[in-house]
Structure 1
Amino acid sequence: MKRVSIVALALLMVVSAAFAQGTKENAAAAGQVELTVLNYIDMSEPNSANEIAMIWDKFSADNPDIKIVREDLFNEPFHQKTEAYVASGKLPDVLYMWPSGRSTSLHTTHSVKDLMPFLVKDGLVSSYNPATLVPQFAGYVAELPNGITTTHMLYVNTKVLRDNGLTMPKTYEEMKAMVQPLKAKGIDLIAMDNMDAWVMQSCLFSMVVGRMGGTDWFPMLEAGKINFNDAWFVNSLKLIDDMYKSGMINRNSLTSPYGSSRGRFATGKAAFYIDGDWSTGSFQTDTTTGQALIDRKGQEEDFELVVMPALPGEVIHNSNSGVLGTGWGMSANLAAGSAKEQAAWRLIKFLQGEYVQTYRLSIGASFPSNLKVDVAKVVKDANLEPFVAKRAAYYAAYNTITPVIDGVLAGDVYNVINTGLQEIGLGSKTPVLVASEVQKAWDAWKASNK
């Protein structure tokens, strides 16, 4: 009888504890602040699934008073949804965005808040690289950036070069001379995915324009001292035309979806691959599967990260195109001082804090803007893959940065450039004609924005 009573008492205690816990959880749920988030993620990329657990699930576990309702999109569907939100005036509370370019409408409509007052209030200004806190397209810090992004990187398969008796080219002409000997072996010179119009403009042409026009080409253009019909721009277009005509870049790249040729490059079907710095992570190990397009040994011995060699007619050498990195913004619809605003800022601080930026560094997703992240120490202590260290060396070696076209020009102008580059690739328009169309778009934009 006594034994039964003890069992009954134990059961009662378990039920009571469970009821109390359930009541506590319900109370917490009832007091939760709900945040809607528009996230940018390619679920086909290495570590994407792990990112959900390492970042979003961790935030939810550490912040039970905040409920995250997340929408995951990538590439054009993401940008189309962003524009729809801007048009409706009903933005998610927190959203991934660019400092200009594809997020221009968020800036010009002031749909997002200035984050500098939040940084100042929390004493965080000194925690970030000063270059990442400069005013953005709308004249204020609309998004807290991941870092500085260089949009051009020349990935080199040095094993392909060695196996074919070739060495790293020092000039454009030396590089072009490799087309025929490699083609005879069934190997492409350059792999690139140009179906999406932004890729050529951002990942190659912006760098070429900087080499031809110099670091100050955009201020000079704004001041009316140069225009798009001048040699610096026409010759930039002519170089892209020559790359297609000579077979340095195959015309069939215009039907290749973004990221689809990385595997071909990694397996030696191309000597070079052109993309942005962010794609280093695509070649590294997926911690979920343990698989990598390029293993550690290959990263160390058979691949290098550089920029295009000397171009004919360039006025600066070894320069690159760069822009403030992407990051996180906060909807201007959130009431000042409200619980939602506080929750949104807590999320943004976490997403650009030491923990997340260290994690993103470890998988090669981005280099930190947060100065609390000691890159060299993290690389050493965590025994990170060679591409992480090589990426750090790349930033040190190629530190002359020129503007990215869609980072400084309005969509009415850069979209004409994007389309024109594809038309040059198809052989349907000449560089001179495209240049004149870009100049007309620039004149029209200036006239409507006086």
Structure 2
Amino acid sequence: MTRNPRLLSTVALAGALLLAGCTAGSTDTSTSKGGKATLTFLTFETPNLDAKYWDAAIARASAKVPGVTVKKLVSPSADRTGYAKQLDSTGQFPDIMIGLNPAGFAEAGKLAEWSDEDLENYIDPRANTYDGKVYQLPYATQATFVYYNKNDFAKAGIDTPPRTYKELLDASAKLKAKGINPFVVGGGGKDSWADMFPLICTVATDVYKETPDWLAQRRAGKVKFTDPAFVAAAQKVADLAEKGYIDRAGLSRSYADTEQAFRDGKGAMYPMGSWFSASADAKKPSFETGVFAWPTDHGSPALPGVTGGGMTVSSKASDVDLAKKWAKAFMEDEKNLNAAVKADALIIAIKGYTPPDNMGPVYEETVAAYRRAQSADGVVNSFSQETGDGSLPPGLADKAAAGVQKLLSGGMTASEFGAYMDSQWTKATR
């Protein structure tokens, strides 16, 4: 997933880098000598993927690749791609990175290519290509769903999840009439990325369903954000807030607080990435949690999903081959995969992998919903989270999240949001 909060200043960056390194290694840059290497590994931490998770996974990979000593760097915000850009600008580009958006880095020759042999264990090996080349291991899929409080739905007389967009609006009206907040949405401060999920869903249903390569067409100048289809998707989001179906007072919440608000019963529906199912199963709320895909106008599936998220390796690492060997060992270790599935509810895209038997019901329902959409050829790109040739220019996802905050709060119309996105696109591609 791509998350783009504010960036640090160069001065703050240096201090954060020194504080972040917390595993073996004594330098801030890669070193290689006599078949051994000290390599920097940029990762991130979330409520699901904490320091303990990463340290254990790093240790397992290092045990499989003698000669590699890893120095862990932790992005100070969810925008690890932006942080990697700052590190690059100060000559400290990491040797190995996970969950990086390769856009910009790939085109500039800063990343090592993964070969067909490297990718033979992956279900979708050509996912997210840049001019036909792969720079990120496509090891897992994540998608955006609506998680819902089944008790609230029952109180409002809603028997089944909405299957069309009209039914979604009808359900929202019924919930509001019962004094129940229909949607929990947040994204305050550094977590502005978290406000994107309603728009991710409406772009999937109203834009990408009909034009799967829409963003590639935008790059070619064939479409614009001010075109009717994109504005209509933004208008749906603005209308939900205007009708009071999205509580504007909650928009300032952090990601963690927004997640907790849903668990605390402060709203009936929570549009969020599939990783939430791990939290729903581990920190069980007092109600039963259900899952459905944000519906299209006519009921056919258009589920926003992205496959990728794995390791990238710097083309300038002191020992690229050893760095790639360690990255693959990390990515393909069964215990690491099991831990990632348990912690972050990933849908693993590696051949022969089977999730642990004791996964919770929300995860199982999430995977089943994804498989249904997949079988119906109903999985589309996930706006702002794309990688590969058809993706947003670097930094634009962050600008989109800032614009969505204004769209939801009533400070920007849908048409103005489209014009804003076109303007930001122009700035990002100069």
Whether contact under 8 Å (1:148, 1:322) holds in the other structure is yes
Residue of structure 2 aligned with 1:392, choices 362, 367, 373: 367
Residue 387 of structure 1: how far off its partner (Å): 2.6
Task: Check if 1:368 corresponds to 2:348.
Answer: yes
The match for 1:69 is 71
Whether contact under 8 Å (2:152, 2:175) holds in the other structure is no
Q: Any stretches of 5+ residues in structure 1 without a counterpart?
A: 1-28, 286-291
The match for 1:7 is none
- Note the aligned Cα RMSD (angstroms): 3.0
Task: Check if 1:95 corresponds to 2:73.
Answer: no
Whether contact under 8 Å (1:197, 1:419) holds in the other structure is yes
Whether contact under 8 Å (1:412, 1:441) holds in the other structure is no
Q: Any stretches of 5+ residues in structure 2 without a counterpart?
A: 1-32
Distance 1:223 1:197, change over 3 A: same
Residue of structure 2 aligned with 1:402, choices 372, 376, 380: 380
The match for 2:229 is 232
The match for 1:271 is 268
CA distance in 2, matches of 1:365, 1:106: 28
Amino acid at match of 1:309: P
Residue 62 of structure 1: how far off its partner (Å): 4.6
CA distance in 1, matches of 2:316, 2:167: 55
The match for 1:421 is 404
Secondary structure in 2 aligned to 1:155?
Answer: strand
Amino acid at match of 1:154: V
The match for 2:10 is none
Residue 393 of structure 1: how far off its partner (Å): 0.5
Whether contact under 8 Å (2:65, 2:325) holds in the other structure is no
The match for 2:5 is none
The match for 1:21 is none
When normalised by structure 1's length, the TM-score is 0.75
Residue 226 of structure 1: how far off its partner (Å): 3.6
Residue 420 of structure 1: how far off its partner (Å): 2.6
Distance 1:444 1:79, change over 3 A: closer
Whether contact under 8 Å (2:119, 2:137) holds in the other structure is no
Distance 1:342 1:193, change over 3 A: same
Amino acid at match of 2:70: I
Secondary structure in 2 aligned to 1:318?
Answer: coil
- Kindly report which structure 2 residues correspond to 1:246-257, keeping only aligned pairs within 5 A, or say none: 246-257=243-254
Amino acid at match of 1:247: G
Amino acid at match of 1:112: L
Task: Check if 1:143 corresponds to 2:119.
Answer: no
- Kindly report which structure 2 residues correspond to 1:220-369, keeping only aligned pairs within 5 A, or say none: 220-222=217-219, 224-285=221-282, 292-294=283-285, 302-311=288-297, 317-335=300-318, 340-355=319-334, 356-369=336-349
CA distance in 2, matches of 1:32, 1:173: 61
Residue 243 of structure 1: how far off its partner (Å): 0.8
Residue 70 of structure 1: how far off its partner (Å): 0.8
Distance 1:80 1:436, change over 3 A: closer
- Return 252-261 or 173-182, whichever deviates more: 173-182
Residue 412 of structure 1: how far off its partner (Å): 6.3
Q: How many residues align?
A: 383
Whether contact under 8 Å (2:281, 2:363) holds in the other structure is no
Secondary structure in 1 aligned to 2:168?
Answer: helix
CA distance in 1, matches of 2:103, 2:359: 36
Secondary structure in 2 aligned to 1:232?
Answer: helix
Q: Which digits, 9 at most, give the CA deviation of each residue in 1:60-96, with x for residues without a partner?
A: 4454532221122353463443121121233222112
Distance 1:194 1:88, change over 3 A: same
- Could you say which structure has the higher helix fraction? 1
Larger radius of gyration: 1
Secondary structure in 2 aligned to 1:127?
Answer: coil
Secondary structure in 2 aligned to 1:198?
Answer: helix
When normalised by structure 2's length, the TM-score is 0.79
CA distance in 2, matches of 1:91, 1:224: 32
Task: Check if 1:161 corresponds to 2:153.
Answer: yes
Q: Which digits, 9 at most, give the CA deviation of each residue in 1:195-222, with x for residues without a partner?
A: 2333333x23133123222224334445
Whether contact under 8 Å (1:149, 1:322) holds in the other structure is yes
Secondary structure in 1 aligned to 2:105?
Answer: helix
The match for 1:438 is 421
CA distance in 2, matches of 1:78, 1:221: 25
CA distance in 2, matches of 1:52, 1:148: 19
Secondary structure in 2 aligned to 1:238?
Answer: helix
CA distance in 1, matches of 2:345, 2:69: 26
Whether contact under 8 Å (1:416, 1:437) holds in the other structure is no
Distance 1:420 1:140, change over 3 A: same
The match for 1:15 is none
Amino acid at match of 1:57: A
- Return 47-56 or 139-148, whichever deviates more: 47-56
- Return 245-254 or 218-227, whichever deviates more: 218-227
Whether contact under 8 Å (1:132, 1:369) holds in the other structure is no
